[in-house]
Structure 1
Amino acid sequence: MIKHIVLAAVAACAVASSANAATVIFQPGVFGAPNGYTLYSDFNTVDAQAVVSGNNFVFPTGSVSGQYTALPANNTPYLAVLGGGVANIAFNNDVRSFSFDYSTVDTYNTLTINYADGGFESVVGGDILTAGQIDGQVSGSFIINGDGRLISGLSLATTQNAFEVDNLAVSGALAAVPEPTTWVMMIAGFGLVGVGMRRRTAAAVVA
């Protein structure tokens, strides 16, 4: 079960779950690898495409109605998993975090995070969409943190056309995403500092 799903860069939404679960950050309308991440595959060349195994996937350019949809303003090849297919990507070295651009969030898409310890977690497109967002019409980028567990790879599966991703990037460090409890502690800390400064100022005036 996924630990947190952050639905925008400004607002964070915590979802309760088991310990050591992944943190999934979805940023609508934001594309490209985060700072500090290394591009693992852009799927533009035969060598870049060779990292993918599985079945019923293609590397198209552009969009074809009813089959696959390119990312906004993207004219280069990308990975599209078709209905009933699965694309598996195993990293050369275990990572702590990875990211990718997501063409359209569909409820029938499933991302599986594979851990180095043999465990795994899955998140479906319906977990990402919020009230008012329409299935198949929201694009953005994903960042996935293992939160202490090393990640060995990922799998992309879908029951219908299609699951389209591009610009897969990896990092040996976790993305900086404060926990909700951390935000509370930070705010409380700022409050205490403010109180201390006010008392110090008042004492100086009296003296």
Structure 2
Amino acid sequence: MKAQRIIGAVGVLLAGTTAATGASAAIDIHFDGGLATPAAGYTIVDTFDDATGLTGTNFQIKVPPADGNGAPPANSIPSGTPYLSVLAGGSATYTFATPVSSFQFDWGSIDAYNTLTINGTSQAIVVPGSNFINPANGDQGADATNGRFTVTGTEGELFTSVTFSSTGNSFEVDNLAVRSAVPEPATWAMMLLGFGSLGVAIRRKPKPAMRIRYA
């Protein structure tokens, strides 16, 4: 299948106010239609074989074939395995063991009534057909509605959890994967400076410590 890639950014919701997204956007999203999770550099943390690690209401761990409560993401590998299906009025939250700078998952048969809430340094809400432009018609086999969805933080943005919710049947998810947080350039510089100073200190002969007392 030919992959369709959609790249965009979402506004950050802070205290109920939507901040415009520009060159310094904190959260970037992109969708690779027909491609499977994980991409290079990502590690799967949940295959949704069971409900371990999930909190919420009205969701199921399902197995194929498709029925009225869900359909497996067409792009997910391997096929035929369990997946998460969030039913009408339900939600499921996954909390990362440690904050991450990027995560991705297989999103199946995307619908306009699915909602993705990204929690972390700030919060963002992704709505298919709105700030995430795609067909959002629930097609269970098309690349445009079945693919790898990636969320990446910029400017130091870190994510602590993600919530899948839906007002209709269903929001189908598989293979949640993460990329560990990478130190900012300034942090790397401080670390290298510290290592260099430590090396110099080791090579020098110890001197008596000088105590300074402030009144």
TM-score, structure 1 length as denominator? 0.70
Q: Give the 5 Å matches for 1:194-205.
A: none
Alignment deviations for residues 15-54 of structure 1 (CA, whole Å, 9 cap, x no partner): 762544310110111112010111110012x4xx311100
Give the aligned partner of residue 119 of structure 2: 114
Partner of 2:62, secondary structure, is coil
Match among 15, 19, 26 for residue 21 of structure 1: 26
Question: What is the number of equivalent residue pairs in this alignment?
Answer: 160
Q: CA RMSD in A?
A: 2.2
In the alignment, residue 180 of structure 2 is paired with which amino acid?
G
Q: Does 1:57 align with 2:62?
A: no
CA distance in structure 2 between the aligned counterparts of 1:134 and 1:125, rounded to whole angstroms: 6
Give the aligned partner of residue 76 of structure 1: 81
Q: Does 1:123 align with 2:126?
A: yes
Alignment deviations for residues 150-203 of structure 1 (CA, whole Å, 9 cap, x no partner): 1001000100000000000000257xxxxxxxxxxxxxxxxxxxxxxxxxxxxx
Match among 144, 150, 157 for residue 143 of structure 1: 150
Partner of 1:24, secondary structure, is strand
Considering only CA atoms, is the larger Rg found in Structure 1 or Structure 2?
Answer: 2
1:98, distance to aligned residue in structure 2 (A): 0.1
CA distance in structure 2 between the aligned counterparts of 1:129 and 1:104, rounded to whole angstroms: 14
Identity among equivalent positions (%) equals 36
1:64, distance to aligned residue in structure 2 (A): 3.6
CA distance in structure 2 between the aligned counterparts of 1:13 and 1:150, rounded to whole angstroms: 18
1:13, distance to aligned residue in structure 2 (A): 5.4
Give the aligned partner of residue 110 of structure 2: 105
In the alignment, residue 123 of structure 1 is paired with which amino acid?
V
1:63, distance to aligned residue in structure 2 (A): 3.6
Higher strand share: 2
